[in-house]
Amino acid sequence: MQSHHYISSAILDLETIEDILVNNKKLALSEEAESNIQKSRKYLNKKITESDVPVYGINTGFGALCNVKISPGKLTELQENLVKSHACGTGDKVNKDIVRLMLLLKIQSLSYGNSGIALETVLRLVDFYNLDILPVVYEQGSLGASGDLAPLAHLALPLIGEGEVYFEDKIISGEELLKIQEWEALNLQSKEGLALLNGTQFMSAHGVYALLRSYKLSYLADLIGSVSIDAFDCNLSPFDELVHLARPHRGQVKTAERIRKFLNDSQIAKNEKDNVQDPYSFRCIPQVHGASKDTLSFVRKTIKTEINSVTDNPNIFIEEDKIISGGNFHGQPLALALDYLAIALAELANISERRTYQLVSGLRGLPAFLVENPGLNSGFMIPQYTAASIVSQNKQLAVPASVDSIVSSNGQEDHVSMGANGATKLLKVVENLNSVLAIELFNASQAMHFREPAKTSAILSDVLNEFRAVVPILHTDVTMAPHIKSAKSFLENFNFTENFFD
């Protein structure tokens, strides 16, 4: 297995990124990428030397100051001022895993040769990634248009000896980092600051991180839902392939296929049922989980396009001899996709909580609240409350950020995507979904105890045995929070033996 991932024009997708992260691969620029970067910089230098025509962000001010011409001797100062003045982030610090992704995606975007950045600058970003030197970035400050200006400014600050970084498990200043590494601060050339700050890598990195977790949680929702199906003694007929081929949404068909696989040799599933129909939260798992899968596919396509694109401004086109100021930094495609994903994940949590509610209701031969002596013991009464609280919060978080826009830069930037706000609240929905599914599995495992000696499938028996090694069956009331925490950890560290991207 290669120890390095080579940045090139080859398509970067979720599987590739997962491979880079899981196998802790280092980054390196391919010959193609180095050539593209150098050609673009050479072209830009030539243009600046030969002409004094104002070109946005190269020899002019920024935003509403785009008509202010800057003299050639001030171009480095212009770019460094840009980075420093735009570093206005606040709020919580961004997860280090996401900062790592921001570095990867920024390097990828700069490698196409449409940004005019210097090779030395990109190589320094590669060094940051490979040495696990992660700039301190803050969650709040981006409008998701003109790029993720504030967070990307914080990402760029250490290049010029400013800002802060995570270095060997502590936070140090950018100035201190340069001394430790014996590096010189970079002198940013024309357009370099703008190339670093313009772009959608804050939103994109959140999207990639959320998608990687969401695909795993989607798989786990099917798996845990299957445990609940047997725990609630449900019919298998609603999962018959014929039903879903009659309405062949891909996600729906895939979900039903998975559930049939998970329950294939279940004794409980094969037993004759007294109940003719089951509640929607069980019977309609393929339709509901499937719709969320189809949303994942849409968002994945959008994110894939974005992370293989040039999103700074202006763009340099050497063959056509053009430098064009456009709007590829606008995050609207991401803003809509991130909001859509939050809604889809909130629905997975919503239906999961409904299954938990049914399991504790004292129906289908199960004791009320899944405890042997209800009354003396409250049993699993309150974990459902917790799930309900989290699901309610998800509904608030799923309100789209992308429907808002606030004018900025003195009216020059009069429509913005607010995709960055959509990105940060999406992470909370992802975390909440993990919690709700953990509570469902906690309840379903307990309910399955009352089905014994009847057996579920071999696949689900193995999962339950592993789960019960960390979250035991309860016979009397105990403090529940530690068990919910263990259940969440179990899902976060679940060992996937098949492709969860399928």
> Crossing angle of helices 381-397/419-449, nearest 10°?
160
Return the residue matching tokens 């992260």: 21
The phi and psi torsions of 435 (rounded to 5 degrees) equal -65, -45
113 closest CA partner among 18, 53, 44, 172 = 44
Are 193 and 77 a contacting pair, CB within 8 Å?
Answer: no
CA distances to 46, 193, 461, 464 from 258, in Å: 59, 49, 16, 17
Helix, coil or strand: residue 230: helix
Return the residue matching tokens 């995050």: 331
CA distances to 132, 233, 291 from 30, in Å: 20, 56, 39
* Rg, C-alpha atoms of the chain: 26
Q: Is 56 a catalytic residue?
A: yes
Q: Which residue is catalytic, options 43, 56, 209, 219?
A: 56
CA distances to 228, 265, 454, 467, 501 from 445, in Å: 8, 18, 14, 8, 26
Q: Can you read off the two tokens belonging to residue 11? A: 């398509």
List, in order, residues 6 or more apart from 95 with CB less than 8 Å away: 209, 427
Neighbours of 455 (CB within 10 A): 15
Are 412 and 428 a contacting pair, CB within 8 Å?
Answer: no
Within its chain, how far is the Cα of 297 from the centroid? 14
Q: Can you read off the two tokens belonging to residue 133? A: 């030197």
DSSP 421-479: HHHHHHHHHHHHHHHHHHHHHHHHHHHHHTTTTS---HHHHHHHHHHHTTS---SS---
CA dihedral 252, 334, 408, 142 (to 10 degrees): 110
Catalogue the active-site residues.
Answer: 56
